[in-house]
Structure formats: structure tokens, C-alpha cells
Amino acid sequence: MKRPRKPYKLKKRNDRGGQYAIIDKATGKCKFTGTTDKFEAEKLARVQYDQTDDNAAFHQKFAEAHLAKCNSEWLTNTWDMIAKRMIAGPRGKYGGEKKASTKRKEECLWRNPCWDELRHKRAIDTVPRDFEKATASVGVALVTFGQRIHNYAMNHRLIPYAIMGKEMWPKHGSNPRSRAITEDEHNRILKFLGGPDQTLDGLFRSHHMLRYRSRRNEYANWLNFLWFTGASNTDAANMKAEDIKWGEGVLEYKRGKWIKPKNHAPVRVAIAKDGEFEKLLKSLPKTGNLFPTLAQIRQSIRSRFFGQIIEALGIPKVTSHGYRFAFAERARKGGMSAEDRMANLGHANYNQTHHYDKNAKVVPVSIEVLDGGLEAA
């Protein structure tokens, strides 16, 4: 039986580095296979002309050839290359150079083992299942970091198409640590810090700076400062006596996280005359750092001690950032205006402030009071 004639022929093109071309005998059209191996070229040609569904390799080669003409980086970019480029790059929305601490935090997130299978994979070879597997059982910080890498790659045209849609990422509830600390919990912590030395030695043995009574008093004053101001961990630790404007009755400072402080109005916290906050400020150093020891300790260490205290007291998970939530909720519940709450917390828009005060249990004014028939209690 005579074998049917092939509808194509192979021709080796020396002007293309010796790769084979498939030439259609009927039309004379030429397609390059991208390979110099005749057997591989023959296989690709048979797949093409048989018109079967198992020609993925052939189509992939031609697809990559087209992608290379649009952007050659698409064929070589791995997620490790993309992540390192994002970490080393400028801040996203607001621009400006990232702080060294921010870069260290992002590098730590990228080193997490959950990214191991994805790390050196080409972006164009990635499917949604790869991201879903990596983020299946991790916390919200790692999921958010994965979203940032993906969106960075899209926004900077490092990948030709989106791999994960917005609704495909794992949904996380609110972080149990991101909550307001209650007044009762705050008082329990202060009482614990003022307790007998032997109950605290085990906690603070790892850091000599807080093994002494004076240091613990400073730590307790720092927590009280957080309670009255709603300042962040680092801003409070770096606060200076010069930030207190006694003549105006306010504490005024610039937030450390601001890249361009001149573009922000300073944070202003009122100091009530004869109040507990005023007494606290008057008991602190009159010049320089209000908390000289804590200013020398890294944020992670201050937070670690707080976590140890919480665990020792059996208090539900919360961080020192819970003081910021507590301040915002108390301010809103007490009737402080949105503008004043934003000024106290150092926020540029209300959405930021609402993140902190949204759980405040506000008691609305009765309609009868508003109508003028009754007086407020």
C-alpha cells in the first residue's frame, strides 16, 4: 500500500541558525519550528497537520515566539525575579524610597516556605492553582503579599495577563490581634508590671534593659501614654519632651512612617488640665526622649514583651497596636468629631480612621431629644 504524500516538507534554514521550517506544499507558507532537531521538527509538523488536540507543545512554542516579539522578558521572568524587583523598588501608591525596615519585612515574607514551589517558576507557566496552593493555609499577611506580587507584575507589564482574579484569593476574617484593648485589660497589665519582682524576672530575663524596676516603670508609663494618645508603638517610644506644647495644651508630633512629613499636618493630642495624661507627662523627662530606654529597643522587642505579658495574664490575643484601636473607639463613642479623631491619629482621610473606630459601640441620641421634647440624660 502506497503511503500518502505529506502535505508539508521540512527545510533546514541555515540563515536561522539551522532550525527547521515547515513548508506547506499547497500554499507555500513557511512556519519555523524553533528547533534544530529534525526528529522534533517532524513531530511538530505531524501534530500540526493531523489537527489533533494533543499538540500543546507545538502551540506553546509558537505562543512563546509571539510573546517574545512583544516582550522578551515574559519568557524569562520568574516570581523570584519579580518579588526582588518589587522589594527593591519604590513605595507603591505614594512613591518615595522604602525604609530599610520595610524592605526587611518584605524579604522575610518572601522567604516563607509557602512560596518555595512558586519561587523559581516562570510567570507564564503559572496557573491559579499554584497561588491557591501557596496561600491555602497561611495568614492574611502572606496572602496580601502574594496579591501585591501578582498586582505588581501586572501593573509593570512583567506578565502578559492576569493569573489570579480579585475574587480568587483566599478570604480572611479580621485578625483577632487587630482589636481594641479594653480598659480592664490595660489595668491588669499595669498591675502586673507593678507586682513583685520575682513574677517578672522570667519574662524579661532575655533583655537586661527591662529586668530592673525603673525600666518596668518606664514600660508601664509607655503603655499609659499609648492609652491616652493612641500613638503607634514606634512613635510613642521615640516621643520627645520637646513635642509637648504646654502653652497650647497639646502634644504635637510628626509620625515616623511619613516619607514626606512636610506634606502632613502634625498629629495633635489635647492635654486636659489637671487630668491623668497631664500628670503622666509631668512625671516624664523634661528634655530629650520621654522613654529613653524604650527608644533604644527595636519595635519587635517591645512587641515581644507585650505578647509575653498578655500570654502570662491569659488575655485574648491583642498587640500594642490595640491601644490605637482603643483610643479611636473611645473617641468616637465619646462624641469626638471625625476631624478631631483624624487629627489625633494622624490620618489624611476618614477611611483610615474608620478602620480603627468602626467597632465603637455608639449610643445614638434619642429622636425625642432631637425634637426638643426631652433633655439628654
pLDDT, position 3: 56
What's the CATH number where 351 sits? Answer: 1.10.443.10
Record the cell numbers describing residue 339, joined without a space: 476631624
The answer to whether residues 92 and 61 belong to one domain is no
Residue 268 DSSP label: E
The answer to whether residues 42 and 83 belong to one domain is no
The CA angle 222-227-232, to the nearest 5 degrees, is 70
pLDDT, position 174: 59
Domain's final residue, options 141, 168, 195: 168
What is the number of residues in the chain?
377
Residue 51, in any domain of the structure? yes
pLDDT, position 34: 83
Q: What φ, ψ does residue 253 adopt, rounded to 5°?
A: -155, 160
What is the residue-averaged pLDDT of the chain? 85
Range of the domain at 342: 183-357
Residue 366, in any domain of the structure? no
Neighbours of 180 (CB within 10 A): 21
Q: How confident is the model at residue 247 (pLDDT cuts 50, 70, 90)?
A: very high
Residue 48: alpha-carbon gap to chain centroid: 47
pLDDT, position 271: 93
Residue 280, in any domain of the structure? yes
State mean pLDDT over 202-216: 64
The answer to whether residues 236 and 308 belong to one domain is yes
Q: Is the pLDDT of residue 199 over 60?
A: no
In whole angstroms, give the CA distance from residue 81 to residue 26: 45
12 compared with 96, residue with greater pLDDT: 12
Task: Quote the percentage of the chain above a pLDDT of 70.
Answer: 88
Domains in the chain: how many in total? 3
Domain's final residue, options 21, 43, 70: 70
The answer to whether residues 231 and 263 belong to one domain is yes
The answer to whether residues 62 and 135 belong to one domain is no
Cross-strand pairs, 250: 245, 270
pLDDT, position 292: 93
pLDDT, position 43: 79
Q: Is the pLDDT of residue 52 over 80?
A: no
The answer to whether residues 51 and 92 belong to one domain is no
Q: What's the number of CA atoms in the CB half-sphere (13 Å) around residue 329?
A: 18
Cross-strand pairs, 10: 22
Residue 173, in any domain of the structure? no
Residue 362, in any domain of the structure? no
Q: What's the number of CA atoms in the CB half-sphere (13 Å) around residue 56?
A: 1
The answer to whether residues 199 and 311 belong to one domain is yes
The answer to whether residues 58 and 160 belong to one domain is no
Q: Does pTM surpass 0.85?
A: no
Residue 221, in any domain of the structure? yes
173 compared with 270, residue with greater pLDDT: 270
Handedness of CA 171, 172, 173, 179 (dihedral sign): negative
Task: Quote the percentage of the chain above a pLDDT of 90.
Answer: 41
Residue 310: alpha-carbon gap to chain centroid: 24
The answer to whether residues 238 and 120 belong to one domain is no
Q: What's the number of CA atoms in the CB half-sphere (13 Å) around residue 94?
A: 10
Residue 365, in any domain of the structure? no
Domain's final residue, options 135, 168, 201: 168
The answer to whether residues 302 and 194 belong to one domain is yes
The answer to whether residues 130 and 164 belong to one domain is yes
Residue 320, in any domain of the structure? yes
What single-letter amino acid sits at 252?
Answer: E
The answer to whether residues 254 and 339 belong to one domain is yes
Q: Which residue has the cell 505579658?
A: 309
